[in-house]
């Protein structure tokens, strides 16, 4: 629900994730009372949340924990790897210390036990929104530096691949590229070949599992 006098481009963009439709509707209604918020999408499970986050890049994810296919903490971990500047509010009936600590470790900023009030939700949204806005310039700068480093690594990787190098320095470059969870398949395959040539079977076994998963997720790459 749009509020008069508020620029929608300046609103916090929120993704709601819960396997119960009634909860999604309820949270959406609560957030409609906040003039600084716009709900950009809703999801019913963790995997769907990741796909929608890739498409919409939300400022904040309001996420349940227990859901089919993928739980909320695993989903937020994947989302934060793609968009480190996205904040998270967990909404859950689970309030045990172990779950709370797991959420904090992942970088979740707020944790609301169900049921919660309109005021509690919107106060949490406003607090997380301030943190997101405050931290975004620093994260963007870090992302820029990381991208520069990745470009340099890829330049070296291209040179080493062309020269068919298999020495320790070449191995180090390809392993650094592979540290990126979104590493291109070609670099992972090159690294696998290096492990074969160097007979590093333990490392090859771990990489093979990753290659198999990535091939299933992206069959045409």
Helix, coil or strand: residue 113: strand
Q: What is the pTM of this model?
A: 0.63
The CATH fold assigned to 8-136 is Rossmann fold (3.40.50)
**From the CB of residue 154, how many other CB atoms can be counted at a distance below 10 Å?**
14
Tens of pLDDT along 60-80? Answer: 999 999 999 899 999 999 999
Least confident segment among 41-45, 49-53, 169-173, 182-186? 182-186
Tens of pLDDT along 102-114? Answer: 999 999 999 999 9
Q: What's the pLDDT band for 151 if we cut at 50, 70, 90?
A: confident
Helix, coil or strand: residue 209: helix
Distance CA 50, CA 77 (A): 10
My answer on whether omega of the bond before 94 falls inside 30° of 0, hence cis, is no
What residues does each domain of the chain span?
8-136, 145-217
The pLDDT of residue 137: 63
195, two tokens: 């492990």
Tens of pLDDT along 91-145? Answer: 999 888 899 999 999 999 999 999 999 999 999 999 999 998 887 766 555 555 5
CA nearest 211: which of 202, 191, 162, 50? Answer: 191
Distance CA 177, CA 163 (A): 18
Distance CA 14, CA 215 (A): 31
Once rounded to an integer, what is the mean pLDDT over residues 167-185? 89
């Amino acid at each position: 629900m749009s509020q008069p006098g508020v620029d929608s481009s300046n609103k916090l963009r929120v993704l709601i994730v819960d396997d119960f439709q009634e909860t999604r509707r309820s949270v959406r209604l609560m957030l409609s009372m906040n003039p600084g918020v716009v709900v950009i999408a809703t999801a019913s499970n963790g995997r769907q949340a990741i796909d929608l986050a890739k498409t919409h890049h939300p400022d904040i994810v309001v996420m349940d924990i227990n859901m089919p296919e993928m739980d909320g903490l695993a989903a937020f971990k994947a989302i934060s790897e793609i968009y480190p500047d996205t904040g998270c509010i967990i909404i859950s009936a689970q309030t045990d210390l172990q779950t709370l600590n797991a959420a904090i470790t992942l970088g979740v900023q707020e944790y609301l036990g169900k049921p919660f009030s309109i005021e509690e939700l919107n106060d949490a949204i406003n607090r997380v929104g301030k943190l997101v806005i405050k931290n975004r310039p620093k994260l963007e700068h870090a992302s820029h530096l990381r991208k520069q480093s990745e470009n340099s690594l890829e330049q070296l990787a291209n040179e080493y691949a062309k020269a068919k190098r298999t020495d320790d320095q070449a191995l180090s470059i390809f392993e650094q590229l592979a540290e990126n969870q979104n590493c291109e398949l070609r670099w992972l395959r090159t690294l696998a070949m290096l492990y074969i040539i160097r007979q590093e079977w333990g490392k090859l076994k771990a990489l093979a599992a990753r290659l198999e998963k990535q091939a299933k997720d992206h069959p045409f790459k």
